C-alpha cells in the first residue's frame, strides 16, 4: 500500500517537474523575445507629424492599411475637406476679405447648409468647394493660415476635391499620409526591420494627452521626439499667446529632464522641412525668434533651430542625433529609419544577441 502511494507521489512530482520546466522554458523564451525587441517611444506636440511617421512605418514595414483603416481615413478626409472650407470662409468674413461676386452666394449657401460632421460629399458640395478654392479670397485666407488653425495639408485636399468626391473614391497612401486625425490615447505598432524587432509607442501630443507620457518612460530603449519646424510662425491651439515651436522646445527640454530618461538615446526629427522652406520666403525666422541673426535661408535657419533644441537637451541624455525630415516623403523616412536601425543594431548587438 505504502509502495503504491510512493510510486504515485513520484509520478506526480515528475509530471509537476516537467510542467515547471515547460513554464520556465516559456518564460525564458518570452524574456528573449522581449530582449530582442527595441522599444521606441515617439513623442512631440500636437500636429508635429508623429502619426505620419507611424503611417510611413505601416507602408514600409507592414502591409499598408487595412480596409477598415482606409474607410476611416476616407470619412475623415471628407469631413476635413468640408470643415477646412468653412474655416477659410469664416476667416474671410471676419477679416473683410471679399470673394468674387459669383462666389458670394455659393459661400453664403455653403455656410448655411453644409454639415461638416457628415462624412459624405454630394456633387453640389464638391462643385462649391472647387469654385470657392479658385477664388483669390480663399487663396489669400490660406496664405494667412498662421493666424488661425488650419492643417498644413489643407491645400493638398482642396486640389483633389474632384477626385475625393467620386462615388468610388478610395484614399491613396499619399492621401492617408496627408490626412489629419489627432492621436488620442496610446497606439502601439510592432514590426521587424531586417530580422530585428521594433516596438513603437505613439502617445497623443495635445496638452490634455501629455500627462499619459510618463507611464511609458521606464521601458524605453530609444526616444523619438518630433518637431514641426514649420510651426515657427504659428500660435498654439490651446493658448494663442504661445508660439508653437517655443512650446515644442519647452516640452522637449522638460521631457528629457525626466529621471526615467537618464542615459537614454534620443533621435530628434526636425519635421516638415518642405513647409518650412516654403514659409521662409514670406515669414522670416527673425520675426519670431529675435536671437536669430543669420540669413533668411534654409541652411542657416534650419541650423539655428537644430542647435536651439540640441543645446537645450540636458546632460543626462546619453546621446542625441538629429535628422531633417519630410513626413510625407516615404523615401526620406525609409533612409532615416534605416540609418537609425543600423545605429541601434551597433549598440544593442552585444547586449541583445
Tell me the binding residues for Mg(2+).
51, 183
Strand order of the β-sheet with 186-193 is: 186-193, 196-203, 37-43, 222-228, 265-271, 319-324
CA 238 to chain centre: 18
Cell 515644442 sits at which residue?
A: 248
Secondary structure of residue 235 in the 3-state scheme: strand
Cell 479658385 found at: 134
CB count in 10 Å sphere of residue 34 = 12
Question: Hey, is 227 helix, strand or coil?
Answer: strand
Binding-site annotation, residues? 51, 152-153, 177-183, 202-206, 271-274
Cell of 316: 543626462
Residue 18 has φ and ψ, to the nearest 5°, of -65, -40
In the DSSP assignment, the letter for residue 243 is: B
How many CB atoms neighbour CB 168 within 10 A? 4
> Left if phi > 0, otherwise alpha if psi is -120 to 50, otherwise beta: which for 73?
alpha
Report DSSP state, residue 99.
Answer: P
Q: DSSP character for 150?
A: -
Query: Which positions make up the binding site for GTP?
Result: 152-153, 177-183, 202-206, 271-274
CA separation for the pair 3, 18 (Å, rounded): 22
Q: Name, in order, each residue with C-beta under 8 angstroms of 15's C-beta and a sequence gap of 6 or more.
A: none
Q: State the pairing for strand pair 186-193/196-203.
A: antiparallel
Taking alpha carbons only, the member of 48, 103, 12, 89 closest to residue 248 is 48
User: On the CB side of 353, how many CA atoms lie within 13 Å of its CA?
Assistant: 9
* Residues in a beta bridge with 60: none
| Set of cell numbers at residue 73 | 481615413
Q: Which of 151, 175, 152 is nearest to 163 (CA)?
A: 175
Paired residues of 223 in beta bridges: 41, 266
Amino acid at each position: 500500500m505504502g509502495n503504491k502511494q510512493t510510486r504515485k507521489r513520484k509520478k506526480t512530482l515528475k509530471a509537476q517537474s516537467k510542467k515547471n520546466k515547460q513554464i520556465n522554458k516559456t518564460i525564458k523564451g518570452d524574456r528573449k523575445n522581449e530582449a530582442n525587441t527595441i522599444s521606441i517611444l515617439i513623442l512631440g506636440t500636437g500636429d508635429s507629424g508623429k502619426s505620419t511617421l507611424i503611417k510611413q512605418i505601416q507602408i514600409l514595414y507592414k502591409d499598408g492599411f487595412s480596409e477598415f483603416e482606409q474607410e476611416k481615413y476616407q470619412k475623415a478626409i471628407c469631413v476635413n475637406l468640408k470643415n477646412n472650407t468653412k474655416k477659410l470662409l469664416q476667416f474671410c468674413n471676419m477679416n473683410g476679405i471679399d470673394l468674387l461676386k459669383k462666389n458670394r452666394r455659393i459661400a453664403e449657401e455653403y455656410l448655411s447648409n453644409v454639415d461638416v460632421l457628415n462624412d459624405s460629399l454630394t456633387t453640389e458640395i464638391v462643385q462649391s468647394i472647387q469654385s470657392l478654392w479658385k477664388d483669390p479670397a480663399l487663396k489669400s485666407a490660406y496664405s494667412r493660415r498662421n493666424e488661425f488653425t488650419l492643417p498644413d495639408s489643407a491645400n493638398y485636399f482642396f486640389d483633389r476635391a474632384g477626385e475625393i468626391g467620386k462615388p468610388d473614391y478610395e484614399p491613396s497612401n499619399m492621401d492617408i499620409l496627408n490626412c489629419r486625425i489627432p492621436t488620442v490615447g496610446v497606439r502601439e505598432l510592432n514590426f521587424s526591420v531586417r530580422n530585428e524587432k521594433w516596438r513603437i509607442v505613439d502617445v497623443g501630443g495635445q496638452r490634455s494627452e501629455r500627462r499619459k507620457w510618463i507611464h511609458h518612460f521606464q521601458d524605453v530603449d530609444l526616444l523619438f521626439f518630433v518637431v514641426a519646424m514649420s510651426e515657427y510662425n504659428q500660435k498654439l491651439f490651446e493658448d494663442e499667446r504661445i508660439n508653437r515651436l517655443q512650446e515644442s522646445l519647452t516640452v522637449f527640454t522638460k521631457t528629457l529632464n525626466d529621471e526615467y530618461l537618464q542615459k537614454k538615446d534620443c533621435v530628434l526629427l526636425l519635421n516638415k522641412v518642405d513647409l518650412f522652406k516654403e514659409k521662409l520666403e514670406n515669414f522670416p525666422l527673425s520675426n519670431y525668434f529675435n536671437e536669430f541673426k543669420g540669413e533668411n535661408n534654409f541652411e542657416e535657419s534650419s541650423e539655428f533651430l537644430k542647435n536651439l533644441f540640441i543645446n537645450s537637451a540636458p546632460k543626462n541624455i546619453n546621446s542625441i542625433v538629429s535628422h531633417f525630415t519630410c513626413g510625407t516623403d516615404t523615401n526620406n523616412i525609409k533612409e532615416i529609419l534605416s540609418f537609425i536601425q543600423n545605429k541601434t543594431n551597433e549598440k544593442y548587438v552585444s547586449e541583445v544577441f
